[in-house]
A = this chain, B = another copy of it.
Amino acid sequence: MQGYDKYAFEPFAVTVDLAVLTLRAGALHVLLVERGQEPFAGRWALPGGFVLPRESAETAARRELAEETGLSDVSGLHLEQLRTYSDPDRDPRMRVVSVAFTALLPDPPEPHGGGDAAQARWLPYDQARPLAFDHDGILADAHDRVGAQLEYSCLATAFCPPEFTLGELQNVYETVWGVELDRPNFRRKVLATPGFVEPVPGAARLTGGRGKPAALYRAGTATTLHPPLLRPSREGRPA
């Protein structure tokens, strides 16, 4: 891009789309809004909106996240740019380039519902499709990304409340990956990774009534996992 001829380019509308994921009742859920107008009227879609003139995409995404979830403080929530979707025909009305984000919530509040969205609610990830526009693909990309990031980052704690048990942390991995993990081994691995979690002294919580109370942990200072926590059975043992 050298000289800027003001007639050398077409102006595009720039939006953000949010794949807001959470764990509810042991299942992965995604925050969706019901579309009121055509196209895709009545269809569920990822929340999002236009980037305002003086906003970066990140700022717009966090603003939309606050509006759609109704949470007063979204500053601590994990929000990360996923990818930009720019197919010329992804919106039948006009040329829209959308910067997609993934957001991870620990405890799911009932969605605000307000804003300009006709209706907002959590839907189980498996029952979300078909979504409007190219949102099926965006949602799939978000799931892939989060699943991969669980392997080599401390992202899993973003799904958990400030204080959590190792069982809850394990549930994050098992739910997102769709696999079962061995509990003692998971525990050994997590505790052996410096900075992943740190114990809350003297605290314990009953996970739901039955069983031995679990010790509580907080997210540690580390951001990356070295070595990573690899998901099992990807290529299996050959032969």
Give chain A's interface residues, CB within 8 Å of chain B.
Answer: 1-4, 8-15, 17, 33, 35-37, 45, 48-58, 81, 83-84, 86-88, 93-95, 97, 99, 116-118, 151-152, 194, 224, 226-228, 230, 234-235, 238
Contact = CB atoms under 8 A, between A and B. Distances in A.
B8 A11 contact: no
Nearest to A234: B226
Copies in the complex: 2
Contacts of A33: 2
Nearest to A13: B9
Given A226-B235, A235-B226, A83 B86 contact: no
A55 B88 CA distance: 6
A187 to B, nearest CB: 19
User: Which 10 pairs from chain A and chain B are nearest by CB?
Assistant: A11-B11, A9-B50, A57-B86, A10-B53, A84-B84, A56-B86, A12-B14, A1-B49, A84-B99, A1-B48
B15 A1 contact: yes
A134 to B, nearest CB: 11
Contacts of A234: 224, 226
A210 B49 CA distance: 62
A9 B235 CA distance: 47
Contact of A11 (B13, B55, B117): B13
Contacts of A50: 1, 8-10
A118 B53 contact: no
B54 A88 contact: yes
Contacts of A1: 15, 17, 45, 48-50
Given A36-B2, A81-B83, A97 B55 contact: no
